[in-house]
Amino acid sequence: MKFSYNDNITMHRLNTADFHRIFVRFCSYAAHCTFGLLIGVIPVQLTKYSTGRLRPHFLDVCKPNVNLTVLCGSGSASSHDYIEDYVCLGGPEARVRNARLSFYSGHASTAMNVAVFCVMYLQARLPRRIYGISLLPLFQTMLIGGALLVGYSRVSDNMHHPTDVMVGFAAGLMVALVSVSSFLGIIIETFVIC
């Protein structure tokens, strides 16, 4: 139930507690962003565990018991043979299991999801006459640039292939668009021109 003090501050009441409208709106936006993040995590995990694509550093982590020089030098194998029988002699089992979870990048998906969510939120909420000319595009470019930097770091650290990161970006973008579209009316409706 809403009530007003001095016609300037709108408060919301829950049982016996009163909450300022800014706090209620912040919780609403945070809930929608969290909803988008949770929706984004499910397909990432399902895809990672169902495809099992090897990370670029898999051979360094696994250290398989296959001698490729003997195998390829004998003439019985070509460079395109698929090796099925091997034992990982490398690191702990958890690291080897993680080295099989390359497709698609959860970091890139989450970074793009949050960046696009924030870009669209800022576009809808910040007044143009104050921030619109130079600061708003600068903030938005920094957010998208930060997401792209996360993707670049995943490729340069040999944790993902470039295609893993690109698919992660696309998935994060789609989830953010769905998340924002679910409450875009609330953002525009509650916008107060300062």
Q: By C-alpha distance, which of 172, 163, 164, 34 is closest to 111?
A: 172
Only one residue has tokens 């609403």, namely: 28
Computed on alpha carbons and rounded to an integer, the radius of gyration of the chain in Å comes to 24
Q: Dihedral of CA 119/120/122/127: which sign?
A: positive
Catalytic residue, chosen from 12, 20, 57, 160, is: 160
* Residue 107 appears among annotated catalytic residues: yes
Q: By C-alpha distance, which of 133, 136, 109, 134 is closest to 120?
A: 136
- 183, with CB counted inside 10 A (0-12, 13-18, 19+), is middle
Only one residue has tokens 């958890």, namely: 94
DSSP string, 96-128: HHHTT--SS-HHHHHHHHHHHHHHHHHHHHS-I
Active site residues: 107, 160
